Chains A and B, each alone.
Chain A
Amino acid sequence: MILVACASVVAGLVGALTGLGGGVILVPVLTLVFGVNLRYAVGASLISVIATSSGAASSYVKDGFANVRIGILMEVATTLGAIGGATLASRVSTGTIAIVFGVVLLYATVQSARPEPRVVPGTTPDPIGEKLRLNGIEPTPQGPVPYSAHHVPAGLSLMAVAGAVSGLLGIGSGALKVLAMDRVMRLPFKVSTTTSNFMIGVTAAASAGIYLRNGYVDPVLACPVMLGVLLGALVGARVLVSARVKVLRIVFAGVLGLTAVEMIVQGVRGAL
């Protein structure tokens, strides 16, 4: 169990450094390395996702980047999606979940390794966004810059998918949430990432309720894992500020890519 906690520290650390989040690394580590049943692994991962999201979000909100209005509106879609995903998780085999997990991990790895192309802000904001007052002011070094939301219905739809993925796989699916806000709704990148972090905890709580009721959350496993990931994420956030992580990122991307393939293989063989 001490080994599991130590591995969780590493998962939290790597999650913070790569920006992928702890869950995406934790689930393969628990299942592939420690032979934990996928259902317990996903349950424990969801719990740690709530911890890291809530822990990290508290500092982001104070900085004034996160947009609470956008966050809560998008949570309507993510929580409903999460309930769908968590319900689906109890109906399908662990092999199927492992395959989906591998595919999502592969996609996330490729995304994280690629440099972020800067989106040119559009000129005509969505009238729905205007009506819902989804605009805000981003504090930048050059002074406050106002922004507004585009393509709100498309953003909401993608958020529902993000919620379902989170509920099915026990991950934060922060990358999908950022995609919805940054690319689809064309919000500033920093606003997207911080608001996404703010939302992950609420999304995960929606599916955690269902996992808890289905008996997928074993506190004896989940708590040491949660403590480990939390510690790793805290250290990771510190290191991130100082260290040059570019090389690390590429190394991790390679490892994660292989892990993803292994998840798919094990899923197909029905070994998980």
Chain B
Amino acid sequence: MRDEILVSATLRVGVALAALCSLAGAGLYFSGHAGDIAAYATFHAVRVAPALTGFGLLSLGVAILIATPIVRVAILIVVFLRERDWLYTTVSAFVLGVLLLSLNG
């Protein structure tokens, strides 16, 4: 039960951090781009890079959010390891591997 509270706390902290980052980033970004008309009708690939600018903070918000479920799976591995549940340690590790592969593959 304590582990489950740890898992849900991780999720909550991750979402809160990401939201804070996004809020700060949005404030910073839109104060500098107030008159811009967003051009989302045509598609061009966007490069995301965390930095201490409005865009950077927004990128960081996205990065933290995507990392949150990944960290959750990592914690699950530790939880199952402590329970000496080798089967589900392996299952969790496999899912973590798939997630990391999707980011870097």
Task: Show the binding face of A for B, using Cβ within 8 Å.
Answer: 1, 34-37, 39-40, 47, 50-51, 53-55, 57-59, 61-62, 64, 68-69, 72-73, 75-76, 79-80, 82-83, 86, 132, 201-202, 204-210, 212-224, 226-227, 230
Contacts and interface: CB of A to CB of B under 8 A. Distances in A.
Most chain B CB atoms below 10 A, which of A34, A64, A76, A219:
A219
Interface string B68-85: 111011001000000000
B99 A212 contact: no
B40 A40 contact: yes
A57 B99 CA distance: 19
B47 A215 contact: yes
A70 to B, nearest CB: 11
Given A61-B7, A72-B91, A220-B58, A1 B30 contact: yes
Most chain A CB atoms below 10 A, which of B1, B15, B30, B68:
B15
Given A37-B40, A209-B102, 18 more contacts: A1-B38, A36-B40, A37-B42, A58-B12, A64-B4, A68-B4, A68-B7, A69-B88, A72-B88, A73-B91, A75-B73, A201-B69, A210-B102, A221-B40, A223-B22, A226-B19, A226-B22, A230-B15
Interface in B27-57: 29-30, 38, 40-48, 55
| Chain B interface helix/strand/loop/mixed | helix
| Chain A interface helix/strand/loop/mixed | helix
B95 to A, nearest CB: 5
Given A210-B102, A221-B38, A226-B22, A201 B11 contact: yes
Contacts of A72: 73, 76, 88, 91-92, 95
Interface of B: 1, 4-5, 7-9, 11-12, 14-15, 18-19, 22-23, 25-26, 29-30, 38, 40-48, 55, 58-59, 61-62, 65-66, 68-70, 72-73, 76, 87-88, 91-92, 94-95, 98-99, 101-104
B99 A55 contact: no
A207 B102 contact: yes
A39 B43 contact: yes
Contacts, number: 163
A59 B38 contact: no
A61 B2 CA distance: 11
B45 A214 contact: yes
Nearest to B100: A209
B4 to A, nearest CB: 5
B46 A215 contact: yes
B4 A61 contact: yes
A61 B76 CA distance: 13
22 contacts: A1-B38, A35-B40, A40-B43, A50-B65, A51-B65, A59-B8, A62-B4, A68-B4, A69-B88, A79-B102, A202-B69, A205-B102, A209-B102, A212-B62, A215-B46, A216-B45, A217-B62, A222-B58, A223-B25, A224-B26, A226-B61, A226-B65
A204 B102 CA distance: 11
Nearest to B101: A83
A47 B68 CA distance: 11
Contacts of B8: 57-59, 61-62
